[in-house]
Amino acid sequence: MSMKIKCPQCGKQTVYSQENTFRPFCSKRCRLIDLGEWASEGYQIAAEPSIDDYSSGLDPEEQPFTPTRH
């Protein structure tokens, strides 16, 4: 069974089935554009900072008081 969906990149109607090797995209071009956005950090997933996000190992409250190197 196949269904029609909109390509997440260009919005063109495309078939979502095993025959479409680029699914959910309509083409290799749209798939590569999307991949390029992720690689260039054009897309980001929102997340709360955790203690692992700080190389110093300090709590987030302590971060503003630590020296930084530019």
What is the domain-level CATH number for residue 4?
3.30.50.10
- Full-model pTM: 0.60
Q: Which domain holds residue 10?
A: 1-70
Number of domains in the chain: 1
Q: What is the pLDDT of residues 15-52, one digit of tens each?
A: 999 999 999 999 999 999 999 998 998 888 887 766 55
Residue partners of 17: CB distance under 8 A and separation at least 6: 1, 2, 3, 23
Residue partners of 22: CB distance under 8 A and separation at least 6: 28, 30, 31
